[in-house]
Amino acid sequence: MKKHRDGNANDQLGDDALLQREESERREYNRLERREPHLRDTNYRALNASRALLHAWERWNKTSVVARLRGLVSRHS
């Protein structure tokens, strides 16, 4: 799968490709989040997160919203 830099082209993807992107971005966000264990004990995680983690969350969030609007992903998957 070709790497992408942001979620701006999500509306151009078919359902299968969108699901693959959502899964990939969720994995990347989770991987980066695990690298920052100090965030687990805070209520204001976004304020203390690295730029890479914030960017990963933003990409995943955009893709996840589009997938949910299409009825492809549940909110907690």
Domains in the chain: boundaries: 15-69
The pTM for the full model equals 0.72
Query: E strand or H helix at 18, and its extent?
Result: helix 15-34
Rounded to whole angstroms, how far apart are CA atoms 70 and 65?
9
pLDDT of residue 15: 93
Rounded to whole angstroms, how far apart are CA atoms 34 and 48?
14
pLDDT level of residue 11 (50, 70, 90 thresholds): confident
Tell me which residue has tokens 């830099």: 5
pLDDT of residue 24: 94
pLDDT of residue 26: 93
Q: What tens digit of pLDDT does each residue of 18-75 get?
A: 999 999 999 999 998 888 877 766 666 556 788 898 899 899 999 998 899 899 976 5
